[in-house]
Structure formats: C-alpha cells, structure tokens
Amino acid sequence: MSDEARSRNGRAAAEQALVRIVHHYGQQPEFVLLGGLVPELLCQQSPFQHAGTTDIDVQVNLEITCGAVNTRRLEQALRNAEFSPESERIWRWMSEIEGKRQVVKFELLADLEDQPAQVDVVFSECERLGAVNLRGTRFAAQDRHSMQLHARQGGVTHHASIYVAGLAGFIMAKIAAAHGRHLPKDWYDIAFVLQHNDRGGHREAAGLVKQLFSAELAGDMTSALVDLEANFADPSFQGPQAYAEQMVIDHPDQDASVLAADAVVAVAQFCAAVGR
C-alpha cells in the first residue's frame, strides 16, 4: 500500500476529480461516497493522517432508484469531467489528471437484491455506464450524510455537496468487502476508522452499528464478522500487520508492534460489543 495510489498527491487528485464531476452533474448527486476517500472525512479530528487513495468509489442504489434521468446526467457529467470507461468495465471510468501524472478511477457499486452478486448492472438510456453488483455496499446508502468538499482548480476554489457514508455504514460495508477479498487496504481502513473516528473510537462505532443495523448482524454479516475477528486475533496476523505497515509509512515515529497490538484490541472489543 505504499505506492502513489496511497499518497497525499493521489488523494488530492481524486478529490479534485470528484468535485469536478459533481460540478458537471449540476446538483447534489444521489450516489454515496464510499471507499478510501471516506476515512479521512470520518476522522477529521484525529492527529493521525489516513493514507487516502486515487479511487473514487460510489454506491449508486439511490441513483438507480431515481431512474434514467439521473443515470444519464451522471454519464454526461463523467464525460464532461474528462472521464472515459475502462474497456468493457462499464462500472469503472478513468481520467488522467493533467499536471499531476495521476490516474483517477471512478467506480460505481450497486447492491441490488434482484440481481446476482458480481454481475454488471447496465443503466438504461446510457451509452456505456453501469455498476457492479457488490453485496454489502448497500450499507453506505442506508447511512449517509451530506458533506461539503472543496478543490482548487485554475486558481478558483470550487465547492461540491455530496453524500458520504456515515461511520456505521462505512464500517459495515468495509467488513463485507474485506470478507469477500481480503485486501490489506480493507484491513487498514477498518482498523484506522475504528480507532480514530470523530465519534470517539471503536466502542462508539459499535454502538452506531447496533443502533442502525442490528437486524443485519446475522446471516452473511455474521460470517464477515467472524472473519474480521479471526484476521485480527493476533498482532502477527494480516489485519494488524496491514494497519501497522501503512501507519508506519505515514507516521515513521510510531512503533509498529504497538500499532498492531492496538488494532487487535480495537477489533476484538468492537466485535464483542456488536455481539459477534
């Protein structure tokens, strides 16, 4: 996770591109920001810096519900913001940010119960736009908050109102994603947000999850929580190691063994609090 995709320049390029997309959209979109741009927004009071990402992941269930008018508007906004679809992946659009040598990916994620997992959902009346159907991303749409993002372009500061996944929605979506793919960036994001969120830490995160998603803490999510706990059961396991590795890159004064141990405690107490 130490490449340019996890850098301050990369994050700045992604935020600038997102603000540009919303500007061309013409109003606040119905999609909900999810993924690696969100932790910093949930942890603004933390003294620790999140690594960020060049990927813009958005959950589009609500955009789809609004119909073809919205999805056509989104496709046109992406084109006007100088994005284009990546080959046959209609759910991934890409743009190279001029002057920054950064490639930003805009990825559209849905979670539709009437569609199989992992299939492409093609938007009607659009030329090349769609979403990939990923289980668990719906939590972002069920816990969203409006935020203002800012980006300076051409000497002018632009503002954009956008829905962002709330703490509970983000944690649940990330736990589901980690269960499905076991990527270091997911373990890192979960451990970072559980410990450094603006609500106070992992206990407060657990309280919000129980408050908003108590009915969801069963079935597939039970398996995902078991998986989360297992991967953070010991400081030497991949969850704590992924967190400690990235934290030391961003904060060289920190002790990796202490960071890993803290991640183990936070995840264990979170899982116990939600009744795993």
pLDDT confidence of residue 47: 95
pLDDT band at 256 (very low <50, low <70, confident <90, very high): very high
Measured in degrees and rounded to the nearest 5, phi and psi for residue 102 equal -120, 135
Tell me how far apart the alpha carbons of residues 25 and 129 are, in angstroms, rounded to a whole number: 15
DSSP conformational letter for 36: T
Task: Tell me how far apart the alpha carbons of residues 194 and 187 are, in angstroms, rounded to a whole number.
Answer: 11
Residue 112 has pLDDT above 90, yes or no: yes
| pLDDT of residue 1 exceeding 50 | no
DSSP-assigned letter for residue 6: G
Decide if pLDDT at 4 tops 80.
no
Phi and psi of 41, rounded to 5°?
-75, -30
Q: Which residues of 138-161 are buried (b: 16+ CB within 10 A; e: fewer)?
A: bbbbbbbeeeebebeeeeeeeebe
pLDDT averaged over every residue in the chain: 92
Beta bridge partners of 162: 147
Q: Which amino acid is at 8?
A: R
Q: pTM of the entire structure?
A: 0.93
Better pLDDT: 227 or 6: 227
- 132 closest CA partner among 149, 145, 142, 120: 120
Confidence of residue 99 (pLDDT cuts 50, 70, 90): low
Q: What is the predicted pLDDT for the residue at 88?
A: 83
Among 242, 264, 239, 228, smallest CA distance to 6 is for 242
Give the per-residue pLDDT at 208.
97
Q: What is the rounded distance in angstroms from the CA atom of residue 233 to the CA atom of residue 221? A: 18
pLDDT digits (tens, 9 = 90+) for 25-74: 999 999 999 988 999 999 999 999 999 888 999 999 999 999 989 999 99
Work out the pLDDT band at 266, boundaries 50, 70, 90. Answer: very high
Residue 74 amino acid letter: L
| pLDDT one-digit tens code per residue, 145-199 | 999 998 877 777 788 999 999 999 999 999 999 998 999 999 999 999 999 999 9
Interatomic CA distance for residues 85 and 93, integer angstroms? 4
Q: What is the mean pLDDT of residues 225-246?
A: 97
Instruction: Identify the residue with better confidence: 196 or 6.
Output: 196
Q: 83: burial class by Cβ within 10 Å (0-12, 13-18, 19+)? A: buried
- Around Cβ 86, how many Cβ atoms within 10 Å? 15
Question: Above pLDDT 90, what percent of the chain?
Answer: 80
How many whole angstroms separate alpha carbon 28 and alpha carbon 163?
8
